[in-house]
Amino acid sequence: MSKGSVVISSWSLIFLISMLILNFFFLLENNEVALMLELDFSLKFLTVLNIPFFMDASSAILGSVVLFISSFVMIFSGFYMSHEVFMARFISLVVLFVLSMNLLIFFPNFLMLMVGWDGLGVVSFLLVIYYMNKESLSAGMITAISNRLGDVFFILSIGALSSFLSLEFFSLTIFKLSIIFSFLVMVGSMTKSAQIPFSAWLPAAMAAPTPVSTLVHSSTLVTAGVYVLYRFSGLISLELMVVLMFFSMMTLIMAGLSAILEVDMKKVIALSTLSQLGVMMLAISLGMKMIALFHLVVHAFFKALMFMCVGAVIFYSGGVQDGRLLGEGWRRLPIVSMWLVVCNMSLMGLPFMSGFYSKDLILEMGMSKGFSGLGLFVFIVSVVLTVLYAVRMILMVLTSDSIFSLEGYSSMNYFLFFSTLGLGFGAIWGGYFIQSVMKSFYKFIFISSFLKLGILLSIVVSLIMVFLLFMFGNLTMKGGWFSFFLGKMWFLPFLSGNFISSWFLSNSLKMNYFLEKSWLESMVWGGGLKEVAWSFSSSIHQSHTKVAGVIVFLGVILFMVLFLL
C-alpha cells in the first residue's frame, strides 16, 4: 500500500466521522437535547461500574473540530513525512492519539477519562521520541514525567472514589470530598495544559515531527486539561478559582515575554499556544466556561494552520528552525506566506478574523464582570505581547534575508496546498460560523466606548511598536541577563524540567544499583526485590489454583449427590 493511499484513506475516514458528529451537533443544538448511552457492568463487579457515552452540543462541536483538524493533519503528513519509510506506523500512532482524545471528550466516567488521559500521555511520548535521537529522548522524558505527575492526581481520585463504590462524576458532590477532588482535578488539569509551574515540557515537545506538533498544540493534548476543567468548573470552589486565576495570569505574561525573545520558530508557536491556554484558564477562573470552550475551538483552527505554514518553511529550508536564518518567504513560498499572515492576524484578534470573536468576547466579559485594574492591565499587556511576537514572526520568516536557496522546490505540493486550504477557511470564518450555530457562544455585552476602543488601540499601538523596532532596532532582541531570564521562561526548564527530571531519574538509578543489585540481592533474599515479588505472586497463584481445584471437585460431588437424591 503506497504512502499516498495511506494518507488519503485515513483522511477520508476521519473527515467522514467528523462530518457525522457535526450532523449530530446540529440535531442536539437545534432541539436543545443531549444523547446518553450507558453500558452497565455493576452486576459483574463489586462496585457501581457504568461506562456512559455522553454527547451534548459542547462535546459534539469539540469532537467534530478535533477530527476535522486531524484529517487535514493526515494530509499534511503526506507532504512533511514524504521521506518516512514506515508511514503506516506513523499514521497509526496519530490515529491512536486522536482516539484517546475522543475517549476523554465523549465518556464522562473517571475510568474512561483515565484511559483517554493516560493514552494521550503514552502516545505523545512515543511521538515526541519518534526521531530517536538524544534531543528527542530528552524532550520525551520531560514530557512523560510532567504528564505523569498530572496522572497521579487522577489516580488518587479513582482510588478515593473506589472506596465509595462509584466512579461517576456525580460522586464528586459528596461534601467530604468536594474540596479535595476539586484540588486534584485542578492541579492535574494544570499539568496537562502546562500552566506555571508545569510549563517546561510544552516547548520541549517541539522535538516531535511538525504534524504531531500541529495536532498536539492545537486541539488535543494541551487542551485536554482545559476541557476537563470546563466539565468540572461547577465543583471548584471560589478560593481555588482565585489560585487558578493567579497562575493563568502568570502564564500569560511569561509565555508572551519568552516568545518575543525566542528565535526558534516552532518554540515561538509553542509559547503562543501556552499564552492562549492561559487565556482559556483565565476565562474559566472568571466563570466564563462557555467562552473558554469557544476560544479553545477557534484557537485550534488558526494554531494548526500556523504550525503547517512554519513547518513548510522549515521543510524547504532543510530542517532549520532558527528564524534568523529563514526569510524571503513572500517570494519563494507565496501561498504558504499568505496563510501564515492570515493565521497570525487571527491570533492577534484583528476585527472579523476568527480569533477576534472569542478573544474580544473574553476581554469584554471580563470588563463587564468587574475586572480589577491589575487584571485588566495584565490582559491588555498580553494582547500587546501577542501582537509583538506575531508580527515579529511574520517579519523574520517572510521579509528577512535568507541563506537558503529554495529555487529547486515548488510551493504547489498538492498535500500542502489542500491541507492549508482546508484549515485556512476555519482560520478566517471559523469563529463567525461557530458563534452563529451555537447559541451559548453568543453574548450581549454592554461596556463603555472608551473601554471598547481601548482594545483596538492596544493592538494598533503594538503594531506601531514592532514596526519601529523592525526599522530602527534588532528583531532578535538579545542581550543582558534580564533578557536571558525572560527568554528561558523564567528558568522553568531548569527548575521543573531538567533539574527535577534528571534528579528523579539519577536517584532511581542509584537506588536500583545500591539496593536491588547490591546488598539487597546478595545478603537478604538472594534474588532482589523483583525475584521476591515474583516468587510471592507465583505462590499465591499456585495456592489459588489448588483451592479453586478443590472447590470445583467438591462442587461436582455435591451436584451429583443432589441429582441422585
Backbone φ/ψ region at 318: left (φ over 0), alpha (ψ -120 to 50), beta: left
Cell numbers found for residue 13: 475516514
Which residues partner with 39 through β-bridges?
Answer: 51
Cα–Cα distance measured from residue 554 to residue 560, given in angstroms and rounded to the nearest whole number: 10
What are 295-317's pLDDT values in tens digits?
A: 888 888 888 888 888 888 888 87
Q: Is 167 helix (H, G, I), strand (E, B) or coil?
A: coil
Are residues 443 and 287 in contact, defined by beta-carbon separation less than 8 angstroms?
Answer: no
The H-or-E segment that residue 37 falls in is strand 35-40
Residue 134: CB atoms within 10 Å:
8
Residue type, 407: E
Position 530 scores a pLDDT of 56
Least Cα distance to 531 among 544, 516, 513, 511 occurs for: 516
Least Cα distance to 200 among 208, 191, 209 occurs for: 191
Q: Could you tell me which residues come within 8 angstroms of residue 443 by beta carbon, excluding any fewer than 6 positions away?
A: 291, 361, 365
Distance of CA 290 to the CA centre of its chain: 18
What is the overall mean pLDDT for the chain?
Answer: 76
Residue type, 425: F
Cell numbers found for residue 128: 515526541
Are residues 231 and 189 in contact, defined by beta-carbon separation less than 8 angstroms?
Answer: no
Are residues 359 and 295 in contact, defined by beta-carbon separation less than 8 angstroms?
Answer: yes
Cα–Cα distance measured from residue 524 to residue 178, given in angstroms and rounded to the nearest whole number: 45
Cα–Cα distance measured from residue 232 to residue 213, given in angstroms and rounded to the nearest whole number: 27
Which residues partner with 50 through β-bridges?
Answer: 40
Q: Could you tell me which residues come within 8 angstroms of residue 45 by beta carbon, excluding any fewer than 6 positions away?
A: none
**pLDDT class for 525, splitting at 50, 70, 90?**
very low
Kindly report which listed range (156-165, 411-420, 507-516) carries the lowest average pLDDT score: 507-516
Cell numbers found for residue 422: 482546508
Alpha-helical (H) ranges within 163-220 are 175-192, 201-204, 210-216
Position 11 scores a pLDDT of 75
Position 197 scores a pLDDT of 78
Cell numbers found for residue 559: 451436584
Can you tell me the mean pLDDT for 395-415? 64
What are 249-258's pLDDT values in tens digits?
A: 888 888 888 8
What are 123-161's pLDDT values in tens digits?
A: 888 888 888 777 778 777 887 887 788 888 888 877 777
Grid cell 481445584 in the structure block, residue: 549
480 pLDDT exceeds 60?
Answer: no
Least Cα distance to 387 among 483, 230, 260 occurs for: 260
| Longest distance between any two alpha carbons in the chain, whole Å | 105
Backbone φ/ψ region at 563: left (φ over 0), alpha (ψ -120 to 50), beta: alpha
**pLDDT class for 522, splitting at 50, 70, 90?**
low
Computed over its alpha carbons, how large is the radius of gyration of the chain? 26
Which residues partner with 556 through β-bridges?
Answer: none
**pLDDT class for 408, splitting at 50, 70, 90?**
very low
Least Cα distance to 263 among 499, 483, 482, 465 occurs for: 483
Residue 187: CB atoms within 10 Å:
19
For 438-474, give the DSSP string: -GGG-------HHHHHHHHHHHHHHHHHHHHHHHHS-
What are 66-91's pLDDT values in tens digits?
A: 888 888 888 888 888 777 777 778 88
Are residues 382 and 366 in contact, defined by beta-carbon separation less than 8 angstroms?
Answer: no
